[in-house]
């Protein structure tokens, strides 16, 4: 049986980079960061410069190119950009990205790393490499606005949800590994939202079969 990829999605500061490195260490897999691959496709141009010169629409198209390539891999860990679930037209209007999510789901278990806006804002504070997504707002205000729009899209894209505020990184990594092991043993087909690990608040892991396919 082909090995499934693990694709980590979530907002800025949700823990994708930390968890992806832990998973690579524990599983002995290769790590691919989508933002790094977008920079490669842009011939080394940093993301802030790419967005300034070409706009978000072009950046999202490069993300699609990268997602399509990664969909052909097996047994890797993918650190997805925060906006992998978004598309954006030339006028700036945003929408859910069926094309990018669909490409990732070709051979990936998509795990949404969820946490509060307060935690996300604290984690990314002072990071000058992050491109502002809105103008004229504080980091906290920007995060509130962005997550209000994206939270339903993360849920729609996710096969599973892991709370990285309740779970420490090591705990979250072990939960994701348990998901992977279960998925590679059998392929569930339920179209529902259900808890798959119980035992109190520290479990904080939910199975979220793509609501887009739910009748």
Does the domain at 5-213 match CATH 3.40.50.300? Answer given as yes
Tokens of 140: 């906290």
Pairing assessment for the beta strands 108-114 and 5-9 based on DSSP bridges: parallel
**Domain residue ranges of the chain, discontinuous segments joined by +:** 5-213
How many angstroms separate the Cα of 179 from the Cα of each of 67, 118, 135? Answer: 22, 27, 39
Walk along the chain (215 residues) and give the pLDDT tens digit of each residue.
668 999 999 999 999 999 999 999 999 999 999 999 999 999 999 999 999 999 999 999 999 999 999 989 999 999 999 999 999 988 889 999 999 999 999 999 999 999 999 888 888 876 655 555 555 667 788 889 999 999 999 999 999 999 999 999 999 999 999 999 998 886 554 433 333 332 333 344 455 544 332 21
Burial label for 151, CB within 10 Å (0-12, 13-18, 19+), is middle
What is the side-by-side strand order in the sheet with 205-208? 30-33, 76-79, 5-9, 108-114, 160-163, 205-208, 193-195
Burial label for 44, CB within 10 Å (0-12, 13-18, 19+), is exposed
């Amino acid at each position: 049986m082909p090995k499934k990829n693990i694709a980590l999605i979530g907002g800025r500061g949700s823990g994708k980079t930390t968890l992806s490195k832990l998973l690579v260490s524990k599983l002995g897999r290769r790590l691919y960061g989508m933002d790094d691959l977008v920079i490669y496709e842009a011939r080394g141009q940093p993301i802030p410069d790419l967005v300034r010169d070409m706009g978000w629409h072009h950046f999202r198209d490069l993300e699609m190119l990268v997602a399509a390539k990664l969909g052909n891999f097996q047994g890797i860990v993918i650190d997805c950009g925060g906006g992998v679930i978004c598309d954006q037209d030339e006028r700036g209007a945003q929408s859910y990205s069926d094309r990018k999510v669909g490409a990732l789901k070709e051979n990936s278990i998509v795990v949404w790393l969820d946490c509060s806006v307060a935690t996300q804002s604290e984690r990314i504070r002072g990071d000058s490499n992050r491109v502002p997504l809105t103008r004229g707002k504080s980091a906290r205000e920007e995060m509130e606005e962005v997550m209000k729009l994206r939270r339903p899209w993360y849920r729609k894209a996710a096969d599973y949800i892991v709370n990285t505020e309740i779970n420490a990184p090591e705990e979250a990594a072990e939960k994701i590994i348990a998901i992977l092991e279960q998925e590679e043993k059998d392929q569930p087909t339920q179209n529902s939202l259900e808890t798959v690990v119980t035992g109190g608040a520290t479990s904080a892991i939910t199975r979220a079969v793509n609501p887009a396919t739910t009748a």
